[in-house]
Structure 1
Amino acid sequence: MRIKIKIRCKQCGERFTLRGKKERGRIETGFKQCLCDNRDQFEIEEDGGTSWVQLN
């Protein structure tokens, strides 16, 4: 299933809107890092605002 994902960098505040694939509860977008080189501190929202995933 293809879904829309909103990603916000916790370091610089940059926002990204991507489309990803959701399979078995896991979302894959291919997103690797922010423009500020941050690789793991993000807030990720599935479009619709119902579920938030927070990465350290």
Structure 2
Amino acid sequence: MPKFIRSKPDLDFLQDLFLLPSATQKEYACENSYELLYLSKEVISGNHFIAQFRC
């Protein structure tokens, strides 16, 4: 079961990430020291996001 976290990441990072294909997103997040990945635009609200899958 994936672990879910709430955090306040850098918004530029999020915008860049959304432009990448999903396979590349994981590598990009890992390179940028984000421990968990899989961002969903639908859940961004109040400076929070949900991520899943460990790098």
Would you say same fold, with TM above 0.5? no
| Structure exhibiting the larger radius of gyration computed from Cα positions | 1
Q: TM-score range by the shorter chain?
A: 0.3 to 0.5
TM-score normalised by length of structure 2:
0.33
Q: Which has the higher contact order (CA 8 A, sep 6+)?
A: 2
Higher strand share: 1
TM-score of the two chains, using structure 1 as the length reference? 0.32
In terms of fraction of residues, the more helix-rich structure is 2
